[in-house]
A and B are shown apart, each in its own frame.
Chain A
């Protein structure tokens, strides 16, 4: 059972400090993110109309979000017409209750899962476990995370923080049929996982999935994946329950042409993903239920600046280019959504009452690489800055910034402050006290000059 994010202690600076000191983690992250980054850049570079595609993706998503109510009702109608059942879930508790009841009604106590960050977000596995139902993750990386009793740490590569010898240890420990002669060779590890999962797929009567896209016009759900586990989950079981955030909607079938280009190139750096599965309503021999999850999304939609986060197609391009994510890793963000998108999405979905959530809008140097990489042009730095204005600030910082603002708002006060600094220039210690020690722990401070530019100009030009 993978662990839960609820009540994760600390804040981003503390969490990332630990991560930064772990050189193996730093090495793994650097290697993985730079590899995907390079692949992405080359396949994006192949498309002469990438910026137009990106603008189209943004426009389609914005239009959909603007008319979300209308398109959701259209989707419900289309899915129902095709024999599926649509359920509406306001929050995590409601979604978990709906899914638990649906599974209970089948009489099964085991389910297989694929491709669902939404169910991670609502901590469905824990909710099912509380009712005696065991959920098995089938994505290889999710499986590693689940068997290792760990948290996912990347949107696309949830086990990015693990190396293959760690994975071998986890398999030896947790997979019943694995023998000690298992090597840490990737094909050997993949084969062990395949055997383990095959058995689950063939036994399971219930599957729970997410979806990359939902098409309002046709009621079609779409899953893009690389391993084929998704297709197994979607087709073999007798009952399929899909839990999908309401923002995953697209108006028409035609809109997929944009996103089926944007997503694989941005996420795995491939021209096309290996498996694209689409299903509309219930198919013969299978019950289909769609749980539409709000869980804070309509609140995000109400925010003029922050709502652009709902355009996200979970490609993880922003994580792979983010210098902060590269050093801090995914766990530091304390949420199923790590990296730059997590830093804006999580505090919007959860609010900023916990120390961790309040620290997330500050977990960025505002370098802008995420915005540049985002296939739907989410201006992540803009949202970060907006959230910072809404985040709580420590009293000492508020006081300091107020004084700084007062000095900077008047050039005579600024000149006086500069002259005061000049007078004590020889007395400034090499190690600064208080929060400024964060600067002098690793860097030298610049020398305060004998004279400000302002005074030099005054002396030379006005004399």
Chain B
């Protein structure tokens, strides 16, 4: 299967390790992966901050870049939700843009969806001997309805002890530009989230969105908790040989 990677601008720029993990994981599972170099950003930041025009331009760019692939895989619940849930609302019904969106968006998958729904694998052959807790980010949970797909994958990782996160479904307080526009509330939500994480005694916090992990990880680091954050792809890519 010829799979296009949508690495997302945040991962591309700040978390290249996640992209590399997706490449190695999907190749291990027999996929022929491509990174269309013209890709940039899904436009979520612009649309959600009220810059619709710029967002629409980025959405148009996205649909052009990813037209013609069997599947587009993104290691981000948030960006996948933007494309699948919000793009259809950006174009005028019946327009050429709407047709392009209708063509591309159903083929866009978040990583765990692609693994479970398309590749039909639950055990990706990973090894990660650590105590891990999972935060189901809002857009993964309520936007894409990923359900237990990520945790199903984590449960099949050898050596991994998955511990439940209290109040897991509560927002961590990142919310894109919300973190900068409403810093006091965002920080308060982040503090409550890190307290829950500390209560689990986990060494690693895992999620399917690096933007949320950046906010929670930044808080964990500032509080000198010693808890690491890792993207789901990085845990799933890790094998016994690589350890």
Contact = CB atoms under 8 A, between A and B. Distances in A.
A126 B219 CA distance: 46
Interface string A393-422: 100010001101100111100100010010
A385 B89 CA distance: 11
Contact of B50 (A393, A408, A410): A393
B19 A453 contact: yes
A323 B181 contact: no
Contacts of B174: 365
Summarize A's interface: helix, strand, loop or mixed: helix
B50 A409 contact: no
A366 B178 contact: yes
B219 A443 contact: yes
A369 B183 contact: no
A13 B218 contact: no
A180 to B, nearest CB: 38
A411 B183 contact: no
27 contacts: A13-B183, A16-B184, A323-B173, A324-B182, A324-B189, A366-B48, A366-B178, A369-B142, A369-B170, A371-B142, A385-B48, A387-B50, A388-B49, A388-B50, A389-B50, A389-B52, A404-B45, A405-B46, A410-B40, A438-B179, A438-B181, A443-B190, A444-B221, A444-B222, A445-B218, A446-B15, A458-B37
B180 A408 contact: no
A446 B9 contact: no
Interface in A362-401: 362-369, 371-372, 382, 385, 387-391, 393, 397, 401
Interface in A16-33: 16-17, 20-21, 26
Given A391-B50, A456-B19, 7 more contacts: A323-B170, A323-B173, A327-B185, A408-B9, A421-B13, A442-B187, A448-B14
A449 interface: yes
A397 B180 CA distance: 11
Given A20-B188, A366-B138, A409-B57, A439 B35 contact: no
B118 to A, nearest CB: 22
A328 B138 contact: no
B87 to A, nearest CB: 13
Interface residues of A, number: 62
A174 interface: no
B48 A411 contact: no
B171 interface: yes
Nearest to B178: A365
Given A362-B178, A401-B54, A414-B40, A20 B185 contact: yes
B11 A453 contact: yes
A461 interface: yes
Nearest to A15: B184
B228 interface: no
A457 B35 contact: yes
Contacts of B143: 368
Contacts of B13: 414, 418, 421, 448, 452
A443 B40 CA distance: 26
Interface string B33-62: 001011111010111111110100110010
Contacts of B7: 453-454
A411 B178 contact: no
A366 B16 contact: no
Contacts of B218: 439, 442-446
B217 interface: yes
Contacts of B183: 13, 17, 438-439, 441-442
Contacts of B182: 12-13, 16, 324, 362-363
A454 B37 contact: yes
